Amino acid sequence: MAKKKSGPELERATENLQTASQQPMQTTVDTSPQVLREPPEKRFAAQLSAIAAADTFAKPPGWKLSPRAVRTFLLGSEAAPLEKLSMEIERKFYGDDPLVDRTIVTLIGNRGLLLIGDPGTAKSMLSELLTAAISGTSELTIQGTAGTTEDQIKYSWNYALLLSEGPTRRSLVPAPLFRGLSEGRLVRFEEITRCPAEIQDTLISVLSDKVLHISEFEGEAGVLHARPGFNIIATANSRDRGVHEMSAALRRRFNFETVRPISDAEFELELVLQQAGNLLQQCQAVASLDRDVVRVLVETFHELRNGRTKEGALVEKPSAVLSTAEAVSVVMSAGIDAAHFGDGKVTGAHLGRQLTGAVFKDEPADVKKVRQYFDVIVKARASQDSNWRDFYAAREDMKT
Amino acid sequence: MNPEPMISQRELLERSNGWGKRLLDGPITFFPVRHHSPACAAHLSEWIARVCPRSIVIEGPSSFNRWIPCLVDEQCRPPVAVLTTYRPTSQSHGPRHSAFYPLCDYSPEWIAVRQGTAIGAKVQFADLEFADKVNVLFESTAEDQQEPEPSLLLTDESQWHHSQFIQRIVRRLGCRDFDELWDHLFESRFGVEDTHSFVGRLATYCDLSRMDHQERLAKDGTLAREAVMEKTIRAEFARLEKPTEQGTILVVTGGFHTVALAPTFDKSLTAQNVKTKTSTKPSAKLAKTDRTKQDKPLGDSARDEAQSNSWLIRYSYDQLDSLNGYQSGMPSPGFYDWMWRARSQSTTVRHAVAKMISEIARSTRGTTIPHEASVTDSIAAVAMLDQLAGLRGHEVPTRNDMLDAITSCMRKDSQVAADGLDAIVFRLLAGNAIGHVPASAGQPPIVDDFRNQCERLKLPATVIDSKQMSLELYRKPSHRQVSFFFHQLMYLGVPYAQLLDGPDFVHGYHLSKLSEDWQVGWSPGTEARLIEMASFGENVAGAAELRLEQEIRQMEKGETARDASAAVDKLITTCRMGLQAHGDRIIQLIMSFVAEDSVYASMASALSKLTLLMSAREPLEATRLDSLPDLVATCYRRACHLIDELVNVPDDQVDASLDGLCSMRELLSQVEDNHLDRELYVVALERLVAATNPFPRSEVAGAAAGILHSLGRLDENGVCHIIENYLDSSMTDVGAACGAVRGLMMTGRESFWRMRGLLLKIDQLFENWEEDRFRVALPHLRLAFSQLSPKEVDLVAERVAALHDIEDLGNLHHPTVTEGDMQFGLEIDRLMRRSMLEDGLDSATHPDRSHSGAGVSS
């Protein structure tokens, strides 16, 4: 059995694919496959320069593109047309166009942007795309963990130089926040709520006064003023620690935006098939994914997540995360199962078996809820559809 | 249907370029509007002031002409509505159809009536009468299985929403819904666009959306309606002797109709030939319906008033808000009201919206919502508003721009958790204006309905006297009707009838009673309250229904408790009011509560109430509720699911839960044609008795064992094993352990005289118990045995005696002993004990086991 990827790692992997899979034609044109994953400003370099060439609108100070052009980059040239564009731009973020408008506008203003949402809702992807389009780079990134220190956020020292020269600009090693301020670029702060509150609070003065104090330097040199174009995009997971522990002072300096799971089941199915297919290819498992078989799983995820079946009957929502990324991981594990222990054909039974692993983390109440879903909804469908019947067989595994 | 092949892109473009000129420049101005659109109202107002038409034709039944004097009366203040009702002759007992024609300050129709009258134009309405519309709808859908449901609004705009074309643009432009699309395309240029271009764009838009509807136009009565409008316009055209001056006649209709009406006149206006029939496609269709439909429905326009009538009543923004579920024109009327007022006060819309934002911020302070919006939040939101409007190319900020700005700047948590901010925002955006109608508009229909009903049912309606009435619910259908009426009035809070006594189906009391006793008396307060209720509906039943719907919506929004049992009470109330016709819809709403209720006892009680409702056919007329069986099934499934929760049910719910388990077993045995999945119940019980971590509560386990045994799913050994597990457990609370016996007694008392093994086991256990332990357990065991009748107790005692090879228990009943003898005996006992205690022999006073065993059984 493949070890399940989890948390941000999986999220990243699927987001990566989410963007990559939307341009299957371009992957062949790609000339530098030497790295596993290129940042969006490299991956979409051609598109960005085409948009920049067609961009006639006023740009906020420090921005590489105008707000409208950024919108075109994210939503595609069909939904957000731009005159005189030399190539077609495909849509990169799905499901919530007004959210994109709001995020762009927030970044123009003097408040930071905080994206909250369940894991696997493409928050990080959205923040990468925004930084790539607005600042031309998505590399100024702080990864929030329980062990993140101020050094990793602001700046640290090259101690050899520090000893020989004292605190000079040469001995200072800039961290992403320092660079963002001095270069006038956007800084990404991933999983900000994973950091201790006192570390988070280092952002307060930066966000309100737009300055960074370097206490080691004397006089004017000790104050680094932000150049236009600087702002922060933070992401936070609504599942683990949440934003409640964030200090009120910091909270009011951010605009909060909730990123929701994809609401169109058919589109989600498409995405799951593509991504799981790619992942299976990567680990060289030969498994065939039937659309109707996978649809059973995606519909199940959808209905459990929304608390309502497509016919309108109500379903109790499990507390476990049922994001698109989780669906991909279930399909992928089922594929590996089928490839190595079966005839390579993924059936409802494979999916059902893996579902238990994905949903039953450590919450017995979830097992009950899913079992109830199987007893009532899946059982009824099983009598009419063989895919659901295979899937229903997994009910046997749900004894706790 | 795919609309594309019908027209080429070039044709379309040519056609769209011409709309503005085509509609506005002739002697007849065809002005397309959307009901309750400030942008349309503003353009129309300017147009009337500029062109001064001599005649104005407005979409609306011609019979509404009689309300024009009231509408232009100075005392008339919107929002008001014309309420019209109709009951088809063919179904004199069927439902009465009713519909509203709401008008607010920024309704184009309101502007046309008021401003038109002010400049001395002849103002009239033209549309199919509501009665005819209903008839057309019923005729055209006669072959369908489904009964049509006429819209509650004459200004229904569902055609705008449901067009495939519109759905595609909504998606393409990244709008959330049709309302955002509308604002984006039309309201966002409020006050900056010239009328020609506005009308041209609007007409193109309607033209395209109409393409999807070609097939349905005849069926939903659109063609018949347009035929009437066309006829009226032609009559005006002839009356004014074929005018040639621009805009002599102004036609104000929904844009959807404008694009069909205007082409029928194209030729007639240029060729000076009013009668021409050779025109574009829609016209041919129109003409056809003109011939076929026109004569029949319009012939009997002198319809009986009792059948069809209309009233002008006051209305409220609350009712106008489509977010409240009425199929109204636009959501958040309060927002558009601000926008409209900004125009008349010559401030900018931006200023008005900014003011609204700060109003919302202020409203969040001092409330329970987690983040109170500060002044900086308001500033950020207004800045954001400007930026968003700019980004989206809006000249003036729209409703969604404002909502987005508030979402971004004032919400400090994940949006998934509803935090009350939405409630505040939508309450403010809905507005709270209530209209006023002049006295000349007459009495609201609900008062007439009340009087008519009183007359029909022979009830006092004018004199101040009061009398008692007894209604025989089961025997006399006419009494049932009266009872329904009284319950409706009671529900509306109309002081008229007071229930003194009768069966209470909600609480299950006095169910054996066959009649209801009422105290009935009319007072001036009766009518005062009815007038207050006028805007809820044209009759008492309708008002009760609407009010009920509001209450249910409140429950839905979580403003009141969402437990299933309470929701079922609501359903029973509905039945008591005789509103079963709407019960099915309420059942759908209740389904959602059922899914959320997580207390077994409440679910089981809901289930048993529903069963009661199903069986109390006559007084509640519940047989008419088609989806009741479905609801019972849903409730049943949910209850089965919740059986798992009984593992550690709190003390105060034990009895109710055990009752619930029993009533579910009863239900399964009652319902013969089983649409309830028996297995769910059985398997849940099996899971319950098999649970080990934690062990289920003893009462519950005992009861489950009893039920499983009675259903043949658990053998004697299984039952013994479960009871043994508890009685022999290391539980410190002996009383709790004895609960198993009590539970079993409740659900399977016969086990105690049928299963020799069980008795043997319990007997052995008691034998091994410590004296103290048994004494502590005694009261609990007594409680358990209280389930049995004296005869059954004797039976058990006999079996227990048999285990010890005692055949004769002796005489357990001593009928010769009098009460005096017993008191005497007790007194001796008491004195003996005292003297023994004084002698230091108190340990001997402990009752021995056989003694107390007798105590249990006596």
Sign of CA dihedral B496, B501, B503, B507: positive
Euclidean distance between CA atoms A364 and B137, whole angstroms: 54
Q: What are phi and psi of A34, to 5 degrees?
A: -70, -25
**Region of poorest pLDDT, from A360-369, B246-255, B321-330:** B321-330
Q: B603 to chain A, minimum CA–CA distance in Å?
A: 15
Q: Would you call A102 and B412 a contact, using CB atoms and an 8 Å cutoff? A: no
**Region of poorest pLDDT, from A241-255, A335-349, A376-390, B743-757:** A241-255
Confidence of residue B292 (pLDDT cuts 50, 70, 90): very low
Could you give the angle at which helices B333-344 and B421-430 cross, rounded to 10 degrees?
50
B204 reaches A (C-beta below 8 A): no
Q: What is the mean pLDDT of residues B804-821?
A: 76
Beta strands in B352-449 (DSSP E): none
Q: Which two tokens stand for residue B79?
A: 């929002």
- Which residue in the block uniquely carries the two structure tokens 């006793």? B517
Euclidean distance between CA atoms B826 and B44, whole angstroms: 99
Bond before B79 cis per omega within 30 degrees: yes
B14 reaches A (C-beta below 8 A): no
Q: Are strands A112-117 and A254-259 parallel, antiparallel or unpaired?
A: parallel
Q: What is the pLDDT of residues A146-193, one digit of tens each?
A: 888 988 999 999 999 999 988 888 999 999 999 999 999 999 999 998
For residue B100, give the H/E element and its range: strand B97-103
Q: How many CB pairs under 8 A join A and B?
A: 95
Residue A3 is predicted with a pLDDT of 42
- Does residue B727 carry a pLDDT above 80? no
Indicate the residue of B390, B404, B413 with minimum beta-carbon distance to A102.
Answer: B404
Q: What is the mean pLDDT of residues B349-369?
A: 86
For residue B43, give the H/E element and its range: helix B38-51
Residue B464 is predicted with a pLDDT of 60
- Classify residue A6 by burial, with Cβ atoms within 10 Å: 0-12, 13-18, 19+: middle
Q: What is the mean pLDDT of residues B565-592?
A: 77
A202 reaches B (C-beta below 8 A): no
Q: Are B102 and B320 in contact (CB under 8 A)?
A: yes
- Does residue A287 carry a pLDDT above 90? no
Residues of chain B found within 8 Å of residue A97, distances taken between Cβ atoms: 174-175
Residue B679 is predicted with a pLDDT of 84
Greater pLDDT, A210 or B765: A210
**Region of poorest pLDDT, from B7-21, B61-75, B402-416, B823-837:** B7-21
Neighbouring C-beta atoms of residue A304, cutoff 10 Å: 23
Q: B425 to chain A, minimum CA–CA distance in Å?
A: 17
Looking from the CA of A319 toward its CB, the CA atoms found within 13 Å total 10
A305 reaches B (C-beta below 8 A): no
Residue B116 is predicted with a pLDDT of 93
Indicate the residue of A106, A313, A315 with minimum beta-carbon distance to B408.
Answer: A106
Distant-in-sequence, close-in-space partners of A148: CB < 8 Å, separation ≥ 6: A142, A194, A195, A196, A199
B384 reaches A (C-beta below 8 A): yes
**Region of poorest pLDDT, from A313-322, B10-19, B317-326:** B317-326
- Does residue B356 carry a pLDDT above 50? yes
Neighbouring C-beta atoms of residue B501, cutoff 10 Å: 12
Euclidean distance between CA atoms A89 and A50, whole angstroms: 9
Terminal Cα distance for chain B, rounded: 82
Query: CA B490, B496, B497 angle in degrees (round to 5)?
Result: 65
Q: What is the mean pLDDT of residues A368-375?
A: 82
Q: Which two tokens stand for residue B661?
A: 């388990």
A260 reaches B (C-beta below 8 A): yes
Beta strands in B544-679 (DSSP E): none
- Which residue in the block uniquely carries the two structure tokens 């579902």? A355
Greater pLDDT, B762 or A241: B762
Euclidean distance between CA atoms B265 and B70, whole angstroms: 32
Q: What is the mean pLDDT of residues B820-833?
A: 86
Indicate the residue of B388, B400, B416 with minimum beta-carbon distance to A105.
Answer: B388
Q: A19 to chain B, minimum CA–CA distance in Å?
A: 19
Euclidean distance between CA atoms B101 and B160, whole angstroms: 18
Mean pLDDT of chain B: 79
Q: What is the mean pLDDT of residues B734-741?
A: 80
A314 reaches B (C-beta below 8 A): yes
Nearest Cα neighbor of B126 from B54, B224, B45 is B224
Euclidean distance between CA atoms B229 and B237, whole angstroms: 12
Confidence of residue A49 (pLDDT cuts 50, 70, 90): very high
B482 CA to centre of own chain: 25
Distant-in-sequence, close-in-space partners of B557: CB < 8 Å, separation ≥ 6: B423
Q: Would you call A68 and B680 a contact, using CB atoms and an 8 Å cutoff? A: no
Greater pLDDT, A56 or B559: A56
Distant-in-sequence, close-in-space partners of B494: CB < 8 Å, separation ≥ 6: B450, B526, B529, B530, B533, B540
Confidence of residue B557 (pLDDT cuts 50, 70, 90): low
% of chain B beyond a pLDDT of 90: 12
Residue B144 is predicted with a pLDDT of 63
Confidence of residue B91 (pLDDT cuts 50, 70, 90): low
Neighbouring C-beta atoms of residue B308, cutoff 10 Å: 22
Neighbouring C-beta atoms of residue B368, cutoff 10 Å: 8
For B691, nearest residue in chain A (alpha carbons): A400
Q: A281 to chain B, minimum CA–CA distance in Å?
A: 33
- Does residue B781 carry a pLDDT above 90? no
Cα dihedral: B474, B479, B482, B483 (round 10)? -20
Cα dihedral: A331, A332, A334, A336 (round 10)? 160
Q: Are B152 and B546 in contact (CB under 8 A)?
A: no
Q: What is the mean pLDDT of residues B585-608?
A: 79
Q: Tell me how far CA of residue B48 lies from CA of A316, B115, B246, in angstroms.
A: 57, 7, 12
Confidence of residue B609 (pLDDT cuts 50, 70, 90): confident
Q: A316 to chain B, minimum CA–CA distance in Å?
A: 7
For A307, nearest residue in chain B (alpha carbons): B595
Greater pLDDT, A250 or A8: A250
Q: Which two tokens stand for residue B81?
A: 């509505």
Residue A375 is predicted with a pLDDT of 81
Nearest Cα neighbor of B381 from A282, A312, A96, A252 is A252
Confidence of residue B41 (pLDDT cuts 50, 70, 90): very high
A257 reaches B (C-beta below 8 A): yes
Bond before B445 cis per omega within 30 degrees: no
Greater pLDDT, B644 or A359: B644
Q: What's the whole-model pTM score?
A: 0.67
DSSP A377: I
